[in-house]
Amino acid sequence: MNSFLTLWRKEFGNYFISPIAYTALSFFLAIMGLIFFFLVNVLAEGTPGTGVMNLVFGSPFYWMTLILIIPLLTMRLFAEEKRTGTIEVLLTAPISDTAIVAAKFAGVFTFYILMWLPTVVFVMVLQQFSAETPPIDPGVLTACYVGVLLSGAFFISLGMVCSILTSNQITAAITCFALMIAVLFSGLAETMTFNSFALSLANMVSPHQHLSEYSRGIIDTRSVIFYMIGTFFFLFTATRLLESRQWK
């Protein structure tokens, strides 16, 4: 446990000395600020809070931010270790491969949560100055953040697998970006096929469909299970790749 906590603190701390992490954080907060501005204007027109959250978390700006931020945060996790040769030191340390993967995931996921914390201020401002009380249903807001954390964990674990497959950070980022695009656009299958099984599969996988439900205050256990199983699968895959040592 001590080894896990030490590695987790190291990974989390690395984001505060990385220019890429600060760039990602600045970009994220800039886009969230624009979305908040959009949110205030829509609420000023008297649009119900539930409808607002559906518009915000279903907007292209949100998804554009996600598919750019996640690859930037995950590309260095293993690729940089392999490029600099420090992966050898890490693998010979008294810590299991499972703990290494878990600690690195915990480090980046903690930073991901930290990125979202300032958005809570947006909600507090709306609660304080909005004529409508509450301007946004707390249940809907909670569901949205649940969706954000679940989808974030899923894509971060996917990014870890991409990083462990190469020693080039750019290659890891591009691979993660491409795979995220493929997953995000899976919901478009309904415009390309009428096969009921294909449509059902696309709806089950599509993050856009999931977050659309969360933004209406609906937490579907099927999507929760999908993200949890998907996250576990990619973390397990990353562990097995690390154990195989075939990339050495």
Query: Which has more pLDDT, 126 or 140?
Result: 140
**How many whole angstroms separate alpha carbon 193 and alpha carbon 126?**
42
3-state secondary structure 104-147: HHHHHHHHHHHHHCCHHHHHHHHHHHCCCCCCCCHHHHHHHHHH
| DSSP conformation class of 188 | G
> By three-state DSSP, how is residue 231 classified?
helix
Q: Percent helix, strand, coil in the chain (nearest 5)? A: 80, 0, 20
Banded model confidence at residue 157, pLDDT cuts 50, 70, 90: very high
Q: What is the pLDDT of residue 42?
A: 67
Higher pLDDT, 111 or 196: 111
Q: What is the pLDDT of residue 247?
A: 46
Q: Span 127-145, mean pLDDT?
A: 69
**Mean pLDDT across the stretch 67-87?**
86
**Amino acid, single-letter form, for residue 48:** P
Task: Of 29-38, 43-52, 209-218, give the lowest mean pLDDT range.
Answer: 43-52
Residue linked to tokens 């978390």: 57
CB within 8 A of 185, min separation 6: which ones?
A: none
- Inter-CA distances, 11 with 18, 51, 110, Å: 11, 38, 10
Q: Determine the distance from the C-alpha atom of residue 97 to the mean position of all C-alpha atoms in its chain, rounded to a whole number.
A: 23
Among candidate residues 176, 151, 153, the one with its CA nearest the CA of residue 163:
176
Q: What is the mean pLDDT of the chain?
A: 80
